[in-house]
Amino acid sequence: MQVDRDHATTVAAEAFEAHGISAADAAQTATVLVSADARGKHSHGLLRLPRFVRGIEHGNVDPDGEIAVVSERGGAATVSGGARLGPVVASEAAIEAMDRADSHGVGAVGVHDTNHLGMLGYYTDQLRKEGYVGLAVTNTEPAMPPYGGAEPVLGTNPIAIGFPTDPPFNLDMSTSAIARGDVLHRRENDRELPEGVALDADGAPTTDPQAALDGTIRPFGGPKGSGLAIAVEVLAGGLVGAAMGDDVTGTYHTEDPCTKGDLFLAIDPAAMGVPEFAERASAFLTELTAGETDADHEEIRLPGQRSVARDREREEISVEADLWAEVRELADRE
């Protein structure tokens, strides 16, 4: 079903407020979730709201937690999120990174003691819109093995990169063959997985989303995706004082405290001595997308180009009827 975007944001915010979240935090989190739905990233949209609420009910979200810089030197800082809602903490961390980039050319801000932040590319999109090169990584509960392994000890560990260009470039990808949120979305909508992306609990290939959630998801590209996932585990976990590997909890199973971490980088192109960076990069990307296409494609699109346009243009979002009914119920709406 189609729901007016502003109405969806209002109802989602009411659902958070009904569970003890401040109006400002509720509005920020609702905006991030609805933006994901507007972009067609339903695995990180309103589908996540009931899971967020369960985290609040389990006591793993602190509505009054303090977001504070706990370590800093120059352009680098580490922020404790005070166990506030992830989108609220991530937004504050992105602002902190921009402020430090203004002073030092580069801002690198790590985050621990936070919760699931929703769609990672939302934050690099905010950074790039403000004129910065943005990079963000986050780790998640174990869901896939390293290349050559059998036990899930790595998260799906997304990476996002945004450039302040026209056309927009906003890469947002997991290091797994399929995002865990996409597996969850397919389970909720009785849709099978593509072949080759997941194993069941016995290590056999499966297209059943629930079997994949009980088993493991494979890294994309074999050792390439595995290597990136390991790097993200260390950057978003160890480097910022958060957990790594088997010690990461609370991003999927919200009855557990969330122990993952995030890392945000904002780079001021002028600090690199290239004040015309945006113009040069935009010209390159425009030339890139104007190239000849292969037999299987009608156009060349940049990472995030279509989703950014959707977010800007869509006044309605698509929501499953059962999910919308659940969101309304959580907001105490009949």
User: Which residue among the candidates 42, 44, 112, 185 is catalytic per the annotation?
Assistant: 44
What's the start-to-end Cα distance of the chain, in Å?
17
All residues at 6 or more sequence positions from 37 whose CB lies less than 8 Å from its CB, including other chains: 8, 45, 46, 317, 318, 319
State how far the Cα of 51 lies from the Cα of 67, in Å rounded to an integer.
22
- Residue 141 C-alpha from the chain's centroid: 14
Cis peptide before 209 (omega within 30 of 0): no
Other C-beta atoms closer than 10 Å to the C-beta of 239 total 16
Report the alpha-carbon distance of residue 109 to residue 71 in Å, rounded.
Answer: 10
What's phi and psi for 231, nearest 5 deg? -60, -45
Is there a catalytic annotation at residue 116?
A: no
Asked about 42 being catalytic, the answer comes back as: no
Catalytic residue (choose from 25, 42, 43, 262): 43
- In degrees, rounded to 5, the angle at the alpha carbon of residue 97 between the alpha carbons of residues 167 and 14 is 80
Distance CA 83, CA 249 (A): 13
Residue of 25, 125, 172, 182 marked catalytic:
182
Please check whether residue 109 is in contact with residue 267, taking contact to mean a CB–CB distance below 8 angstroms. Answer: no
| Residue 44 a catalytic site member | yes
Give the residue numbers annotated as catalytic, written as ranges. 43-44, 182
